[in-house]
Structure 1
Amino acid sequence: MVERRHWFSDMLPHLILTIGVGILAFPVWLAVVGSTWDAGTIANGTMPLYPGPYAVENYTRALGHGGRSSGEPVGMLMLNSFVMALAIALGKIAISMISAYAVVYFRFPFRMAAFWLIFITLMLPVEVRIYPTYQVVAQVGLLDTYAGLAVPLIASATATLLFRQFFMTIPPELVEASKIDGAGPLKFFKDTVLPLSITTMAALFVIQFIYGWNQYLWPLLITTRPDMQTIVVGIKKLLVTQDALTEWQIAMTTAVLAMLPPVLVVLVMQKLFVRGLVETEK
């Protein structure tokens, strides 16, 4: 017997999803609209919900100077954020893959103890260990450098756990076949493990890139030169304490520009990202 479903039961999920998307997209639309109006229209609370005539002027000012409160162009701030996010994402993937590979395929004393020590670091985020981390970075002279921005954040227990769980799903027959062919650990890692891990690496890259791009506290702490600040710190410095002095149109423009790289990364790697999260058999 074929069950007849009412049209309302089919439309209700779509209606709920549409409302949810609208709620999430509305602040983004306000930022886009605000980047096309002048400061007076925004400050007076009379900004309409459609774009204005000042888009070219606002984006030119933001890309050329970054506003009155920030002395560096938005392009420089975005470059700093991009280098930091890329280094964090690639560093986390590389270190996590190597550590997970060692834990799964090598037999050495206290192997599981080493893994659990890595796993316990989940309880020590950068905010908890920020003072000793800052001391180490300052003592080795990495303040106001790309290495200082990225290196303290590249260790990841979560990525190590994910790679370990994935490596454990690789059939043991592949390991035995590699041994019969005379492949060593490095060759097995390069020829077998890496190709099978592409989707997992892609999913982690997207997550970790956005994580690095959105960092605020650590870059704020270790950067004193304006030319080494990131885009998130730059947006905060555009918002001065007195509303009359805040150039809201430049702040909105900078916020819109700051959203573009993460969105592009998600769009470019969307298929691999989804496959890396949902595939059960690689």
Structure 2
Amino acid sequence: MVGALAMATPLLFMVSSSLKSGAEVNAFPPKLLPETPIWQNFVEAWRYLTPQVIANTFIFSLGIIGLQLLLALPAAFALAKIPFKWSAAVLAVLVVPMFVPGNLTLIPLFVITFQLGWLNTYAGLIVPMAGQCAFAILLFRQFFASLPAGLIEAARIDGAGWGRVLTSIALPLARPALATFCSISFLTAWNMYIWPQVIAPNPANRVINVALAPLAGGQNSTVSPAVGLAGGVIAMLPVLVVFIVFQKWYLRGVVGTGLE
């Protein structure tokens, strides 16, 4: 309980301060609750962020999740259930990039994206990040490997191809793993800052963290810090909703195998 309270304190302070005036936010010692809630801060934060920024962030996050699922699910199923030569070597090659710091690959990735002409485009934002799906492949491979071999053999005896086995048997049972991956991947993509800032600095392609960064650094003195905190609350809400929606399957994927 003490640990949960310590982790929740900054979150509670952000929500409380988003309803304060600028003077109350900067007051010392800080006050936990505002004297009079100022809901106008959220209206100004929405105007500052703009619907285009919110839409860009959703397109960016959901695009990464969708492409990673298209790449990871067939690859993971093949590595787990379809015997082929050099499968162990392929798995080892997939693991290696996970141990390379992302900052080391930022420059070559930017150069490739620039040469493809993808700067300030959705393709430049989404495709390079979607290609980094080693974690997803390993996550789904471990889940598919835990499925009873009898299920797969029965389907194969009945004449089902590998694609039919994946879509009709493996995927319906993989809901806990899918919920876990979607929650983690959405949170990771929604919180990205460096890559969107580097690859799409154009305001038309800006995502929410890039838009909020000047407020966090005090670079925009015309906007109250309370408005910046209200923007942080707005940015937090989609992630919170995603976790609440997938909570049942997420917890089941963490504590069990997902088999009922």
| TM-score between the two structures when normalised by the length of structure 2 | 0.91
Contact between 2:18 and 2:227, CA under 8 Å: does it hold in 1?
yes
AA paired with 2:17? G
Aligned counterparts of 2:220 and 2:63: Cα–Cα separation in 1: 36
Aligned counterparts of 1:92 and 1:149: Cα–Cα separation in 2: 14
| Equivalent runs, 1:27-176 vs 2, <5 Å | 27-45=10-28, 48-53=31-36, 55-64=38-47, 66=48, 73-154=49-130, 155-176=132-153
SS in 1 for 2:98: helix
SS in 2 for 1:203: helix
Name the counterpart of 1:3: none
1:33-86, CA deviations, whole angstroms, 9 ceiling, x for partnerless residues?
22112223323436532134353221111112x1xxxxxx34332222222122
CA RMSD of aligned residues (A): 2.0
Aligned length in residues? 258
Structure 2: give runs of 5+ residues left out of the alignment: none
Match of 1:193 among 167, 170, 173: 170
- Compared CA separation, residues 77 and 242, structure 1 to 2 (3 A): closer
Contact between 1:96 and 1:160, CA under 8 Å: does it hold in 2?
yes
| TM-score between the two structures when normalised by the length of structure 1 | 0.84
AA paired with 2:205? M
SS in 1 for 2:39: helix
Name the counterpart of 1:184: 161
Name the counterpart of 1:69: none
Name the counterpart of 2:9: 26
Is 1:278 matched up with 2:255? yes
- Compared CA separation, residues 190 and 110, structure 1 to 2 (3 A): same
Aligned counterparts of 1:149 and 1:138: Cα–Cα separation in 2: 11
State the shift of 1:207 in Å. Answer: 0.7
Name the counterpart of 1:250: 227
- Compared CA separation, residues 35 and 47, structure 1 to 2 (3 A): same
| Equivalent runs, 1:223-234 vs 2, <5 Å | 223-234=200-211
State the shift of 1:28 in Å. Answer: 1.4
Structure 1: give runs of 5+ residues left out of the alignment: 1-16, 67-72
Aligned counterparts of 2:63 and 2:114: Cα–Cα separation in 1: 19
AA paired with 1:266? F
Higher Cα Rg: structure 1 or 2? 1
**After alignment, is 194-203 or 140-149 more displaced?**
140-149
1:92-118, CA deviations, whole angstroms, 9 ceiling, x for partnerless residues?
233221111122233333222111101
**After alignment, is 146-155 or 206-215 more displaced?**
146-155
